[in-house]
């Protein structure tokens, strides 16, 4: 129970910080969208997706790989080797990140033309130094996560996003007066400033805790000192499959961008300006809103890697199974109702958030289901990495991408479907990937995860909630004619209905509630 409490607490810290980060990111996209419009959002996202690809290639696998390697050594009280993992990782990340920054910076013109968005040139140039900064920060975050301390990551990410939000809007406001392209580039300036401040924060936290870390190293009585070469090889061996798996999903985003722009403008169905607007709706609304609840899954996946790695290396399979079930259940309990809520109230949500540019509701309604499969893929990826199956998520991502690309071509080229085709193919992509991940996970642990508790019960409670929200909104709107009041009211009531139904279906256990803030009080209310 203490182990589970520790894992849930770490996941909760990351979940809260991730939601806050996403929420701040979402909030600043509102004034940013008002400044640069859907067209500017399309240009901004084109540059950002390319930057994300290089970021993934240089450092995406590091936090998970480092946290896994560190936690395994800490479990065996090898504190010196755990710290050596950190130092070796720092050198490798700095080197790779530096050259990746140079490549994206000096190749910005060629890259912007290659992805079919020449207007994103300035955004790509602006983002190039950030690759180096984030690569270094990833090492510190991975090390602290391996120590099962998610607070430094949480603090640095929140502070990073605050600076990102402020300077992104400020620079977009200044530069959009010259052109939309420069306005979009201004929106990316805050990304670099925020990353730099976030790096400073986590480095300061490290130096505040360095004395305790060194004291642990001095108390290390193990005789298994590892070589730099051995650790480097293990890091690369662990990180590369994680990078490949993440990179495949990133490449699908780049393919989306290229295919959306190419297929929409083919045969003169849409102009380049109209294609930019549709792509802006896809990335600035659909992607932003559907990935917000997935941040919970990402947090659970991040927290589960070192926790499962520790139990796995100690061969405590009961603890491994318990943590897997807990991770899946907590992720789905939050992701499934989010998907249903967004699907039922897609148009109303966009009208509330983007009154000047409310288009794109169909993308949310159709694409909301992708939240479930993406969250499932994220958390199962973390679990597989924790038990050492780091290649499996890459294989799953490959087959997911294989399903997506032909669907993209067929659907986006149809003028009646257009950009909605990218949403449908995304659902197919994550469905295939999550299915393979779960199948391989079941094979690896020789037992079926708690599918009833993780999927069936949350889905049943969410359907009841969704129907309540749909009919409740129409009734309240007919009486008040206020989209804002009707939407906020049914969202609040819907959350209460969902958790009450789920609790009485025994979808949430008392032991889960006890791990939550005010858990005992919630139990006493529900028991009456």
Q: What are the pLDDT digits (tens) for 222-255? A: 666 778 888 888 888 888 887 887 777 777 776 7
User: Are 43 and 154 found together in one domain?
Assistant: yes
Q: For residues 169 and 164, give the distance between their C-alpha atoms in angstroms, rounded to a whole number.
A: 9
Q: What are the pLDDT digits (tens) for 73-125? A: 888 888 888 888 899 999 999 999 999 999 999 998 998 888 777 888 888 89
Where is pLDDT greater, at 417 or 133? Answer: 133
The pLDDT score that the predictor gives to residue 267 is: 63
Closest to 342 (Cα-Cα) out of 460, 429, 471, 470? 470
User: Are 473 and 442 found together in one domain?
Assistant: no
Reading the block at residue 240, the tokens are 């590369």
Please report which confidence band the pLDDT of residue 465 belongs to, taking 50, 70 and 90 as the band edges: very high
Q: Tell whether the model's pLDDT for residue 400 goes beyond 50.
A: yes
User: Are 430 and 466 found together in one domain?
Assistant: no
Tell me the average pLDDT across 327-354.
88
DSSP letter, residue 518: T
Whether 173 contacts 235, CB under 8 Å: no
What's the domain count of the chain? 2
Segments of 59-113 assigned E as strands: none
pLDDT above 90 covers a percentage of the chain that reads 25
Last residue of one domain, picked from the residues 398, 418, 449: 449
Reading the block at residue 206, the tokens are 């490290």
The pLDDT score that the predictor gives to residue 461 is: 94
The pLDDT score that the predictor gives to residue 368 is: 92
Q: For residues 440 and 385, give the distance between their C-alpha atoms in angstroms, rounded to a whole number.
A: 12
Residue 22: give the domain boundaries.
2-221+228-449
User: Are 154 and 301 found together in one domain?
Assistant: yes
Reading the block at residue 203, the tokens are 């480095």
Is 242 buried (19+), middle (13-18) or exposed (0-12) by CB count in 10 A?
A: buried
User: Are 434 and 499 found together in one domain?
Assistant: no
Closest to 97 (Cα-Cα) out of 126, 58, 61? 58
Q: If you search the block for the tokens 């279906």, which residue do you land on? A: 505
Q: What are the pLDDT digits (tens) for 350-364? A: 888 888 777 778 888
pLDDT mean across residues, the chain: 83
User: Are 368 and 494 found together in one domain?
Assistant: no
User: Are 494 and 428 found together in one domain?
Assistant: no
User: Are 445 and 459 found together in one domain?
Assistant: no
The pLDDT score that the predictor gives to residue 517 is: 47
CA 113 to chain centre: 27
Contacts of 40 (CB under 8 A, 6+ apart): 32, 33, 172, 176, 180, 183, 184, 187, 280
Q: H or E stretch including 54?
A: helix 2-55
The pLDDT score that the predictor gives to residue 222 is: 66
Segments of 45-169 assigned E as strands: none
User: Are 460 and 384 found together in one domain?
Assistant: no
Whether 187 contacts 174, CB under 8 Å: no
Q: What are the pLDDT digits (tens) for 474-518? A: 999 999 999 999 999 999 999 889 988 988 888 776 665 555 545
Q: For residues 84 and 79, give the distance between their C-alpha atoms in angstroms, rounded to a whole number.
A: 9
CA 232 to chain centre: 27
Closest to 358 (Cα-Cα) out of 479, 182, 487, 492? 487
Q: What pTM does this model have? A: 0.74
User: Are 190 and 55 found together in one domain?
Assistant: yes
Last residue of one domain, picked from the residues 449, 469, 500: 449
Where is pLDDT greater, at 395 or 271? Answer: 395
Q: For residues 362 and 286, give the distance between their C-alpha atoms in angstroms, rounded to a whole number.
A: 9
CA distances from 347 to 10, 152, 315, 394, 481 (A): 35, 38, 50, 35, 15
CA distances from 314 to 204, 221, 231, 259 (A): 33, 19, 20, 47
DSSP letter, residue 391: S
User: Are 17 and 147 found together in one domain?
Assistant: yes
User: Are 387 and 401 found together in one domain?
Assistant: yes
In this structure, the number of other CB atoms found within 10 A of the CB of residue 19 comes to 16
Q: Tell whether the model's pLDDT for residue 2 goes beyond 60.
A: no
Last residue of one domain, picked from the residues 449, 470, 505: 449
């Amino acid at each position: 129970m203490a182990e589970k409490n520790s894992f849930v607490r770490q996941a909760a810290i990351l979940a809260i910080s991730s939601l806050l980060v996403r929420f701040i990111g979402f909030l600043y996209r509102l004034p940013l969208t008002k400044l640069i419009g859907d067209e500017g959002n399309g240009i901004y996202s084109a540059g950002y997706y390319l930057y994300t690809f290089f970021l993934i290639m240089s450092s995406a696998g590091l936090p998970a790989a480092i946290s896994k390697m560190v936690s395994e050594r800490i479990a065996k009280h090898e504190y010196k080797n755990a710290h050596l993992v950190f130092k070796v990782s720092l050198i490798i990340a700095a080197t790779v990140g530096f050259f990746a920054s140079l490549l994206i910076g000096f190749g910005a013109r060629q890259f912007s033309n290659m992805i079919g968005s020449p207007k994103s040139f300035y955004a790509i140039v602006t983002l190039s130094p950030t690759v180096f900064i984030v690569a270094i920060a990833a090492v510190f975050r991975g090390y602290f996560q391996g120590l099962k301390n998610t607070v430094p990551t949480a603090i640095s990410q929140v502070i990073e996003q605050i600076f990102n939000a402020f300077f992104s809007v400020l620079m977009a406001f200044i530069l959009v007066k010259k052109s939309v392209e420069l306005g979009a580039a201004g929106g990316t300036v805050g990304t670099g400033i925020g990353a730099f401040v976030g790096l400073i924060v986590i480095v300061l936290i490290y130096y505040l805790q360095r004395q305790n870390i060194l004291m642990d190293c001095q108390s290390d009585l193990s005789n298994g000192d590892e070589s730099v070469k051995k650790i480097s090889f293990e890091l690369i061996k662990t990180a590369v499959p994680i990078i490949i798996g993440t990179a495949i999903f990133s490449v699908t985003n780049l393919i989306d961008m290229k295919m959306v722009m190419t297929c929409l403008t083919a045969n003169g169905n849409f102009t380049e300006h109209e294609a930019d607007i549709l792509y802006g709706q896809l990335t600035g609304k659909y992607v932003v809103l559907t990935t917000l609840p997935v941040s919970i899954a990402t947090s659970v996946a991040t927290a589960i890697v070192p926790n499962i790695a520790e139990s796995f290396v100690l061969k405590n399979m009961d603890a491994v199974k318990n943590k897997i079930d807990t991770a899946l259940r907590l992720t789905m309990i939050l992701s499934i109702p989010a998907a249903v809520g967004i699907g039922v109230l897609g148009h109303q949500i966009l009208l509330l958030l983007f009154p000047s540019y409310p288009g794109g509701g169909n993308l949310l309604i159709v694409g909301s289901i992708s939240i479930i499969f993406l969250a499932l893929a994220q958390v199962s990826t973390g679990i597989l990495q924790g038990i050492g199956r780091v290649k499996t998520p890459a294989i799953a991502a490959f087959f997911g991408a294989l399903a997506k690309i032909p669907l993209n071509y067929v659907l986006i080229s149809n003028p009646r479907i257009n950009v909605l085709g990218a949403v449908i193919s995304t659902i197919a992509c994550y469905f295939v990937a999550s299915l393979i991940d779960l199948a391989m996970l079941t094979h690896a642990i020789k037992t079926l995860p708690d599918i009833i508790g993780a999927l069936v019960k949350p889905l049943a409670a969410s359907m009841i909630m969704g129907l309540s929200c749909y009919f409740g909104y129409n009734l309240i709107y007919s009486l008040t004619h206020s989209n804002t009041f009707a939407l906020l009211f049914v969202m609040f009531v819907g959350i209460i209905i969902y958790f009450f139904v789920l609790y009485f279906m025994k979808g949430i256990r008392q032991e889960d509630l006890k791990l939550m803030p005010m858990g005992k009080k919630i139990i006493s209310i529900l028991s009456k």
